[in-house]
Structure formats: structure tokens, C-alpha cells
Structure 1
């Protein structure tokens, strides 16, 4: 997937989240472990959001691997430590297929 396609999917995901009451607080957060696409708050909970885009929901969802989840969580811990945040958090995914988005809440393995 090209960077432009990924950026467009991420922007669509941001708009989708905002329409559902999330406040986006940061994007494209990097650490030596990996990257977080979107950090958003809702009802006092930090949502760590991975955005995946593909022609079908299944293709996009299947790209969320256990290794990717571990990297995201390590990056989240580094971010929270750096910013001295002590918040409840969950790992979510926004699946983008065409112009449609679907939120998968609290993804874990």
C-alpha cells in the first residue's frame, strides 16, 4: 500500500473517530519499538488506535498480527512514560475498506 493510500485511510479514521465522540490527541507516534497511528481519548480512557486498510474487511483485519500488537503496546508504554500519563487504556483498530470504517474495540490476543 502506498503512503498516500495509508494517509488517506488514517485521515478517514480520524474523522470517523471524531464523529463518535473521540478526541484525537496525537498521531503517528513513533518509538524504537514501532508506531501508533492514532491516540484518542473518550470518557477518560486512552484509545490506542491501529488503522488498517485493504479492499476487504477480512484482509485488513488479518494484517493485525500478534507481533504488531506487541510493538504497539510497547510504544504506548514508552509514550505514557515519556508524557507521565497514568491512564486506563485500550488497544483498538479502525478497519478501512473503501470509504467505510469499522471500529474494533479492545483488540487483544
Structure 2
């Protein structure tokens, strides 16, 4: 298991890569690492009234499976709860909500992002 600092650094790199991908696609970054008493949302973006709550899973290798597979049904329920709190506490215009998963691979040849839109 990697030391906590290395995991945090990998997580930040993954979130940076996912945020950059959304920005290139014309999304507005609303929040990164939004926290409340229940937990944390990695990335919240918006475009044309649709708010996307993105769970970012960064990996250095394939030993533990892809990022998408790491978002279990339990984690999905937690993310939905967090999104409900976000919508209740932050002014969000009435619109659509979507949940994405960004699977980020950080390797010696660079960083790649696979985005699973409307993942659950």
C-alpha cells in the first residue's frame, strides 16, 4: 500500500486531469473536493444547466481494476446523498443532475482519462 502522501498526490493528479478534460469540453468547474459532514465530492461541473457530480478514481497500474469498477453500489448511494446535500445548500438552478466516473491512469508515458458519463 502506498503511503498516504503518495495516495493524496495521485488523487490530486487524477482530479487535475479530470477537471482539465471537462474544461476542454466546455464545462464550468463548480467545485473541487466539496466537503460536508457526510463526506466529499471530488468534482462538480456544469454545462447548459446540467450539474455533473464526478467521482475520480486514479490508478498507477491495473492491479486493482479500473476506476469505474471501484465505484460500488454503496459508494453510488453515498455520492447521491452528498449530491442531495450539495443541491440543498448551494444555489443550483433547476436542471438535470448526472453522475460520472473518471477513471484516470497515471503512468510513465503520461496520464489518460476515461470518462464514464451518466455512470449510475
How many pairs are equivalent? 108
Query: In the aligned structure 2, how far is the partner of 1:88 from the partner of 1:59?
Result: 27
Which residues of structure 2 form unaligned runs of 5+?
none
Q: Is the 8 A contact 1:48 1:90 kept in 2?
A: yes
Query: In the aligned structure 2, how far is the partner of 1:13 from the partner of 1:84?
Result: 24
Root-mean-square deviation (CA, aligned residues, Å) is 1.6
Give the alignment partner of residue 89 of structure 2, picking from 82, 93, 99.
82
Query: In the aligned structure 2, how far is the partner of 1:71 from the partner of 1:48?
Result: 12
Report the equivalent of 1:71.
78
Q: How much has 1:44 moved relative to structure 2?
A: 1.6
Which residues of structure 1 form unaligned runs of 5+?
none
TM-score, with length taken from structure 1: 0.90
* Corresponding residue SS for 1:59: coil
* Corresponding residue SS for 1:15: helix
Q: How much has 1:21 moved relative to structure 2?
A: 1.3
Q: How do residues 46-57 of structure 1 correspond to structure 2 at under 5 angstroms?
A: 46-54=51-59, 55-56=61-62
Q: Which has the larger radius of gyration?
A: 2
Report the equivalent of 2:43.
38
Query: In the aligned structure 1, how far is the partner of 2:79 from the partner of 2:37?
Result: 11
Query: In the aligned structure 2, how far is the partner of 1:69 from the partner of 1:6?
Result: 19
